[in-house]
Amino acid sequence: AISVAVVGATGAVGVEIRDCLEKSGLNLATVRLLASKRSAGQTVPFGNGTLVIEELTDDSFRGIDYALFSAGSGVSKEFAPKAVAAGAIVIDNSSAFRMDAAIPLVVPEVNQDVIPAQPGIIANPNCVAIIATVPLAPLNARHTIRRLNIATYQAASGAGAAAMEELRLSTAAYLAGEHYEPRVLKHPYAFNVFSHNAAVNPETGYNGEEEKVIEETRKIMCRPDLLISITCVRVPVLRAHSMAVTVEFEHAVSPEEVRAILKDAPGVRIVDELEANHFPMPNEASGQGDVLVGRIRRDVGDPSGRSIALFLAGDQLLKGAALNAVQILQRLVG
Ligand code: HSE
């Protein structure tokens, strides 16, 4: 049996980690739910009983084997080293350590071989990087990818529980003809799209989310040379990210070959039913663990036959965050 701590247990991802742990089948001796002082003392259901949220302190990790962090980079930078010093393996969902060369960045379906067994930090990637690499890594393993061009449609959940609430409240206010002053996102969210879901780097014009996805995708796929262009956009969807991806391979690859590889790829479900007009959608991706892949077609913009277009959708809170972290834990426990 293992002892697990969840840091940020009351946040959007923390709540999902609790749920994934309950469903994981792991033999849990202790589950310690940690959060800020503000949330401490709350009683929440867990398994057949309840647990009390505890305040995160320097002593929180005594006797803990595995600590799952989902509370933001600042908390991770301060407390993850303390958890490791106390003997725990940390699975960190923030961006604090992802690009550290000494820290593995893990999507179990893609690179579980890099998971170390000794105490230390394992980084859970950015949600877009996870959802993209689940189908793209097996394609790259068979036919080397030269270049990716990605446009995302990212849900409110990626900006946290408060942004999900802002989507609900601002939509209700809009429909009631009332004014809603944005509190979490900088601009009106209901019935809108933001082409700027993170601060834009003035030197490159790319936003922080786009830069993260480029770097992390290269690291996860062990392809530092991979050419990637991406536009990351926030849309008024609750919890699943979608993306349009154009994949340019080193040589010509047919849509049938792509479909055959993806059919057997772990974590991928092909949703590509022409007659039913049924393709990946964020509401179908929500609440389940697979990355849905469809609209698989030859890219007519590249007459060489080397490029394939795809559309993906995956639950940002599950495979894009909590589920991936718990799957790493399951691999660690064996
Ligand atoms: N940065 C992501 C987003 C979520 O804004 O949607 C975290 O991976």
Per residue in 100-111, pLDDT tens?
A: 999 999 999 999
Query: How many CB atoms within 10 Å of residue 294?
Result: 21
Which residue reads 């394609």 in tokens? 139
The contacts of residue 13 (CB under 8 Å, 6+ apart) are: 70, 93, 317, 321, 322
Please report the pLDDT score of residue 119 as a whole number: 86
Please report the pLDDT score of residue 334 as a whole number: 86
Please tell me the pTM assigned to this model. Answer: 0.97
pLDDT band at 172 (very low <50, low <70, confident <90, very high): very high
Please report the pLDDT score of residue 92 as a whole number: 98
Q: Is the ipTM of this complex over 0.90?
A: yes
How far apart, in whole angstroms, are the C-alpha atoms of residue 271 and residue 290? Answer: 11
pLDDT band at 7 (very low <50, low <70, confident <90, very high): very high
> What is the residue with the minimal CA distance to atom 3 of ligand 1?
158
138-152: pLDDT as tens digits: 999 999 999 999 999
> What is the residue with the minimal CA distance to atom 1 of ligand 1?
158
How far apart, in whole angstroms, are the C-alpha atoms of residue 331 and residue 115? Answer: 8
**CB of 240 within 8 A of CB of 155?**
yes
pLDDT band at 207 (very low <50, low <70, confident <90, very high): very high
Please report the pLDDT score of residue 118 as a whole number: 83
How far apart, in whole angstroms, are the C-alpha atoms of residue 102 and residue 115? Answer: 12
Please report the pLDDT score of residue 196 as a whole number: 78
Please report the pLDDT score of residue 198 as a whole number: 86
> Is 20 a catalytic site residue?
no
Residues 147-159 have a mean pLDDT of 97
Strands 145-153 and 240-249: antiparallel
CA angle 258, 302, 148 (to 5 degrees): 60
Residues 67-76 have a mean pLDDT of 97
Which residue did the predictor score with more confidence, 269 or 117? Answer: 269
Please report the pLDDT score of residue 96 as a whole number: 98
> Is 232 a catalytic site residue?
no
Please report the pLDDT score of residue 318 as a whole number: 98
The dihedral sign for the CA sequence 274, 275, 277, 278: negative
Coil, helix or strand at residue 258: helix
The contacts of residue 6 (CB under 8 Å, 6+ apart) are: 14, 17, 18, 21, 31, 32, 33, 34, 67, 68, 70
Residues 5-25 have a mean pLDDT of 97
Closest CA relative to residue 16, chosen from 63, 82, 52, 68: 68
Residues 206-235 have a mean pLDDT of 97
Q: Which residues line ligand 1 (CB under 6 A)?
A: 126-127, 154, 158-159, 197, 209
How far apart, in whole angstroms, are the C-alpha atoms of residue 316 and residue 287? Answer: 9
- Please identify which of the residues 20, 127, 143, 232 carries the catalytic annotation: 127
Coil, helix or strand at residue 74: helix
DSSP 143-207: S-EEEEEEEEEB-GGGG-HHHHHHHHHHHHHHHTT-----SSSSS--TT--BS-SSPBPTTT--B
Q: What percent of the chain has pLDDT over 90?
A: 97
The dihedral sign for the CA sequence 17, 22, 25, 28: positive
Q: What Å distances lie between residue 130 and 144, 171, 334, CA to CA? A: 19, 29, 21
252-292: pLDDT as tens digits: 999 999 999 999 999 999 999 999 999 999 999 999 999 99
Please report the pLDDT score of residue 20 as a whole number: 98
Please report the atom of ligand 1 found closest to the CA of residue 157.
Answer: 6
How far apart, in whole angstroms, are the C-alpha atoms of residue 274 and residue 279? Answer: 8
305-334: pLDDT as tens digits: 999 999 999 999 999 999 999 999 999 998
- Please identify which of the residues 20, 143, 232, 241 carries the catalytic annotation: 241
Residue 116 has pLDDT above 90, yes or no: no
Q: What Å distances lie between residue 305 and 64, 151, 228, CA to CA? A: 53, 21, 19
